[in-house]
Amino acid sequence: MSVDLRYAAREVDDQLDIFLYRHMISGMARARTTADAFNAISEPHRRQILTLLKERDRVVSDIADAMGMNQPAVSKHLRVLREVGLVYVHPEGKQRRYGLDARGLEPVHGWTGGFEEYWSESLERLNTYVKKRQREEER
């Protein structure tokens, strides 16, 4: 009996690899993280950096300490965010201070704003249901 390894689970580095279509996906092109704001904020650490910068401008060491990361890793994330226009940088002595440039989030806001009507309607239906249940319980 022969087994076609393209369709069978494989052992990779002592771990079971059950992603059967890896051979198809591995060659696909990926968008650069600096292509646009959507790609840049797809990484959780970058979103966390933006949240920190929303509070105030910060130097890299402050961001690294707040996130529990090393400075080179934070600097790489800041470079991506700067290249897509989500943060600005200004020198302050020997350090660079980074701040949030929320204008870069306009495309994201515009896209998510299209779902506002959906959520408003859903929450309104939930509110109506809860009020109905409360009236029934009062009887």
Q: What residue spans define the domains of the chain? A: 32-111
pTM above 0.85, yes or no: no
Task: Give the torsion sign (CA, 36, 42, 45, 51).
Answer: positive
pLDDT for res 64: 96
d(CA 115, CA 75): 33
Average pLDDT of the chain? Answer: 83
Q: What is the pLDDT of residues 80-134, one digit of tens each?
A: 999 999 999 999 889 999 999 999 999 999 888 888 888 888 888 999 999 999 9
How far is it between the farthest Cα atoms of the chain?
71
In this structure, whether the domain defined by 32-111 belongs to CATH 1.10.10.10 is answered with yes
Quote the DSSP letter at residue 102.
Answer: G
pLDDT for res 117: 82
Q: What is the pLDDT of residues 4-42, one digit of tens each?
A: 554 444 444 556 656 666 665 555 555 566 678 999 999
